[in-house]
Structure 1
Amino acid sequence: MEINIPGRGIIKIENLLLDYNGTIACDGEVISSVKDKIEVINKEEIKVHIVTADTHGNVRNQCADMPVQIQIFDNSNAAQNKREIVEKLGAENCICIGNGFNDGQMFEACSISVIVMGVEGCSAKSLMKADIVCKSIEDAFDLILKPSRMIATLRG
């Protein structure tokens, strides 16, 4: 998917990185609307990656029937691990959605970053690094599915 953002240029989105807990899941359980939205995004030929330290130990089970790639890493370097994943995928082609402190480096690396202020809240430090703030994961997904919203928010 290509998005032409006046003042920023054309961004070709190939990868969507999603934090798990607090972003697409609450208390370790995937939010009910997430699966359908991910399936629609997948049809846009955007690869969906879930990047997580898997706090509750159930991400693989919760996401088993979703078209996603799951990357679990050690909790001690979560922020750095997320940034490294973005860099390996090609940061210029990545959009990310998260809510936590450990998402800040991922936000800095991605072409477009979205923070979600859901039930778990969001990190104030990461908030300052995000390009866009959304009140829910559904709203964040709709930015991708209805790119004119993203363009209106980010144009220079």
Structure 2
Amino acid sequence: MSIKLAIPQRESIELQHAVFDINGTLAIDGVAIPGVSERLKTLSEQLSIHLISSGTHGNLKELEQALGFPIQNIVKGDEKMRYVQQLGASKVIAFGNGVNDNGMLRLAVIGIAVLDSEGTAMRAIQAADVFVNGPINAIDLLLKPKRLIATLRD
């Protein structure tokens, strides 16, 4: 399972893992954003899905049910970065919105900063390769990879 990206003027990338922060990225106020679960399931046919969260709202079990994937409780930014590193950063695309996501966004071969109602930390934006409005658009970059290629080409 993988997504191969041939980005002009760059090395080809073979993604195997998608790592998503939950709160502020896939959920707002601890509630999954409509349409995200279906897109994650579709994406899981091509990539291994990893959901991580510091559990701000204390409802990780409910979010696991709503999103359809297990969630790793990872609190600190350096822990998120190590998680990406253990997967093999050159095979990871990471998604997040918070200050504690900036390390994993920078380390992953592609980092996507996501903007929604909770906002996006400037450090996350600066660490990312792409800044996108909402999780649906973010996931669609992989479901329709020509969008991502067009954005990242030199």
Q: TM-score, normalised by structure 2?
A: 0.94
Match 1:37 to one of 36, 39, 51: 39
SS in 2 for 1:62: helix
Residue 138 to residue 126, structure 1, CA distance change in 2 (3 Å): same
Equivalent residues of 1:48, 1:67 under 8 A apart: no
1:15 Cα offset (Å):
0.5
> C-alpha deviations, 1:118-152, integer Å up to 9, x for none?
01110011111110011111100110000000000
- Separation in 2, partners of 1:141, 1:6: 21
- Corresponding residue number in structure 2 for 1:88: 86
SS in 1 for 2:127: coil
1:70 Cα offset (Å):
1.8
- Corresponding residue number in structure 1 for 2:14: 12
1:61 Cα offset (Å):
2.0
Share of identical aligned residues, percent? 33
> C-alpha deviations, 1:96-126, integer Å up to 9, x for none?
1111111000011100011111011100111
**Structure 1: gaps spanning 5 or more residues:** none
- Separation in 2, partners of 1:112, 1:102: 17
Match 1:24 to one of 20, 23, 26: 26
State the number of aligned residues.
152
Match 1:112 to one of 110, 113, 132: 110
- Separation in 2, partners of 1:60, 1:87: 26
Equivalent residues in 2 for 1:23-102 (5 A)?
23-44=25-46, 46-64=47-65, 66-73=67-74, 75=75, 78-102=76-100
- Separation in 1, partners of 2:35, 2:60: 16
> C-alpha deviations, 1:58-80, integer Å up to 9, x for none?
1222222645342112x3xx110
- Separation in 2, partners of 1:133, 1:62: 24
- Separation in 2, partners of 1:112, 1:103: 13
- Separation in 1, partners of 2:12, 2:86: 21
- Separation in 1, partners of 2:113, 2:67: 22
CA RMSD in angstroms comes to 1.2
- Corresponding residue number in structure 2 for 1:153: 151
1:154 Cα offset (Å):
0.4
> C-alpha deviations, 1:33-71, integer Å up to 9, x for none?
111000110112x01111111111112222226453421
- Separation in 1, partners of 2:111, 2:128: 5
